[in-house]
Structure 1
Amino acid sequence: MGEKLSDSQLREVKEAFSLFDMDGNGRVATKDLGSLVRSLGLNPSEVEVRQMAREADTDGTGKIVYSEFVAMFTRHVNNVSTVEEIVDAFRVFDKEGNGYISAAELRHVMLNLGEKLHEEEVNDMIREADISGDGHINYQEFAKVLLAK
């Protein structure tokens, strides 16, 4: 998942970072981090903002330098993209829209689409995913399987 931001995304990030760099010293206060990432299209909770601040403020100064911000922001953007892809994939296979896919459907998908897996790997994934053992896999179970892949 170690994707990089595109040139246009990097320009947008640099521009937004500069707007929040109040004294022009190449640093943004951690207290402004929530507003900064929201200005770039993410919508983190306050808990997530605090986690991002701890992650980006590697030296504990209460200030975030541009390179630290870009590294942290890239990880979070990639994570959001992955979650959106999983939600989209789940919706494709949840034909009835009831919030579940059958273990048989998951088996078919994993054996035949995309990166083909061995029968034993698929059996292990289904055993892990079908936590309740009812033959149905809900969104959380599905996401866990795909993220572990």
Structure 2
Amino acid sequence: MKTKTCKNLISNEQIQEVQEVYDTFKCRNGEMDKINIQYGFRALGVRLGEEEVEKIFKNQQYINFNSFLDIVTPLIYKIDVYASFEQAFSLFDRDGSGYITFDDLKTVAINLGEARSDSKLYNMIKRADLNGDKKISKIEFIQLLYWKKIY
């Protein structure tokens, strides 16, 4: 599998957004310090603890834009992937119950024109249902997608 780099993990628009956040919170010297990085991360929807900040700076006082981008890119990517998984889950969870039931799965299959027997649909649920409650929770759904590498 090809190793992903910053440039292909997030879009150019997201890189531009990171640049704007960096420019907003950078210090006079053009770099970001420990205090401002927390504001920058919050602006991007990520909270950092003091230990995480210390790990980022490793006895440095400032970091430049490229370092900031390298740090935030995987976090933005994870947020985007998770949001995509949640959106996909909501397409199956027709009634908003927080679970994909047999009826939900059957409705989606019919709407997609996928003729599946009831036993095949039950087997699909059984494979994803980790706790045996005969329905798929959001966590089980996301775990299935990660396990199948559908991202």
TM-score (norm 2): 0.65
Q: Which residue of 2 aligns with 1:91?
A: 90
- 1:102 & 1:50 partners in 2: Cα distance? 42
Which structure has greater strand proportion?
1
**How many matched pairs?**
130
- 1:88 & 1:56 partners in 2: Cα distance? 32
CA contact (8 A) 2:125 2:136 kept: no
Q: Which residue of 2 aligns with 1:63?
A: 62
Q: What percentage of residue pairs aligned between the two structures are identical? A: 24
Q: Which residue of 1 aligns with 2:71?
A: 72
Structure 2 residue 145 is matched with structure 1 residue 141: no
15, 18, 21: which one aligns with 1:13: 18
Give unmatched runs, 5+ long, in structure 2. 113-122
CA contact (8 A) 2:41 2:48 kept: no
Which digits, 9 at most, give the CA deviation of each residue in 1:89-140, with x for residues without a partner? 111001122111137939x97xx9xxxxxxxxxx79954x422212111111
Q: Which of the pair has more CA radius of gyration?
A: 2
CA contact (8 A) 1:27 1:64 kept: yes
- 2:70 & 2:125 partners in 1: Cα distance? 32
